[in-house]
Amino acid sequence: MRFSTFVYTFKQGVKNIWRNKIFSLASIATMSACIFLFGLFYAVVMNFQNIVKEVESGVAVTVFFEEGIGAERIEEIGDIISKRTEVADMRYVSADEAWEEFGEIYFEGAEDMVEGFETDNPLAESSHYEIYLNDVSQQSNLVTYLESVEGVREVRSSDLAANVLTDFNRLIGYVSVGIILILLCVAIFLISNTVTTGISVRREEIAIMKLIGATDYFVRSPFIVEGILIGLIGSALPLVLLYFMYSRLIVYVADKFIWLSNMLHFLPVNEVFKTLVPVALILGVGIGFLGSRLTIRKHLNV
């Protein structure tokens, strides 16, 4: 396309929006509302997933050994475990270390009491492996496997935490797909209506254009530009709004609810927006394009 043609087409697209103010505004407003909801949701999901990840990294499977097992076998078991793909990280805790950790937690401020047991460790049989997983959902698999390994006395894990987290992740996935689908339909419907009105207003002009020898492409382009612009404006506005709201919110929470910010770590603004911005813009532009393209096919016969 020639540059002058591009400029002309772009101007006509803007003109379409302008002439058709009320419909265009309604489309942009709805689009904005949808993208705003999407962005809000996205930010919540991102933060939640961050929390899940933090919790996940604390979820561990603990493997205890049979009595009187040799150091060699313990090392072999370690090898077996480290070869499993589910395992993100693991750590060997000897009986002495276990006792020390126990002491640190339960005899805080009275460490000398712990020393009294030095030669007769009450946790003599408590040397173990602590295993951290890539993904909680794989936990039950691994536990079943480990229980079958020779020399393993007991495998401890927190099934409840793992299950709840996995279920919640899945739920969030479904809900977000649902919301995006609804959003798509509403926005496409509105943009389609706007473009339909634009076409009916310009019917005569389109007929003249065709008689003069305008290509289908030339007739179509201003309406495509119209749709894309509506999508672009409709996604840029809520993004700006969300950006300010989010950055304000995390400062506010950190300031006023210190107890909360200790528990929950909000993702920094840029972390959320570096993916949200392109996703929302592509979504907006895509919806705009699709809405007008489908309508043109239906009403313009070009």
Partner 1 sequence: MITLEHVSKAYKAGIPALNDVSLHIDKGEFVFVVGDSGSGKSTLIKLLLKELEPTEGKIIINGKSLGAIKRKQIPKFRRNVGVVFQDFRLLKDRDVYENIAFAQRVIATPTKKIKRRVPVMLSMVGLAAKYKSYPRQLSGGEQQRVAIARALVNEPKILLADEPTGNLDNHNAWDIMKLLDEINQRGTTVLVVTHNLEIVKAMKKRVITMKKGVVVSDERMGDDDAV
Q: Binding of partner 1 at residue 1 (CB under 8 A)?
A: yes
Supply the DSSP symbol for 266: P
String marking each residue 216-235 x if it binds partner 1 according to CB under 8 A: x-x-----------------
Distance of alpha carbon 89 from alpha carbon 92, whole angstroms: 11
Three-point CA angle 39, 40, 46, nearest 5°: 85
| Residue 54 near residue 132 (C-beta atoms within 8 A) | no
Judged by DSSP in three states, 100 sits in: helix
User: Closest CB to partner 1 among 5 and 82?
Assistant: 5
Distance of alpha carbon 211 from alpha carbon 207, whole angstroms: 6
Cα 79 to its chain centre, rounded Å, is 35
Please give the structure tokens belonging to residue 118. Answer: 């030095």
Q: Binding of partner 1 at residue 14 (CB under 8 A)?
A: no
Q: Binding of partner 1 at residue 213 (CB under 8 A)?
A: yes
User: Closest CB to partner 1 among 51 and 214?
Assistant: 214
Q: Binding of partner 1 at residue 8 (CB under 8 A)?
A: yes
Figure out which of the listed residues 46, 74, 161, 214 binds partner 1, where binding follows CB under 8 A: 214
User: Closest CB to partner 1 among 118 and 204?
Assistant: 204
User: Closest CB to partner 1 among 215 and 270?
Assistant: 215
String marking each residue 173-212 x if it binds partner 1 according to CB under 8 A: -------------------------------xx-xxxxxx
Cα 63 to its chain centre, rounded Å, is 33
Figure out which of the listed residues 215, 251, 297, 298 binds partner 1, where binding follows CB under 8 A: 215
Q: Which parts of the chain fold into alpha helices (H)?
A: 3-19, 21-58, 71-83, 95-106, 111-115, 139-147, 159-201, 203-212, 216-256, 258-263, 269-299
User: Closest CB to partner 1 among 157 and 221?
Assistant: 221
Distance of alpha carbon 179 from alpha carbon 165, whole angstroms: 21
Q: Which stretch binds partner 1 (CB under 8 A): 122-130, 138-146, 162-170, 213-221?
A: 213-221
Q: Binding of partner 1 at residue 119 (CB under 8 A)?
A: no
Instruction: Report, in Å, the least distance between residue 196 CB and partner 1.
Output: 20
Instruction: Report, in Å, the least distance between residue 301 CB and partner 1.
Output: 11
User: Closest CB to partner 1 among 116 and 213?
Assistant: 213
| Residue 134 near residue 45 (C-beta atoms within 8 A) | no
Alpha carbon separation from 135 to 61, 98, 154, 289 (Å, rounded): 12, 26, 21, 38
User: Closest CB to partner 1 among 1 and 181?
Assistant: 1
Q: Which residues bind partner 1 (CB under 8 A)?
A: 1-2, 4-5, 8, 204-205, 207-216, 218
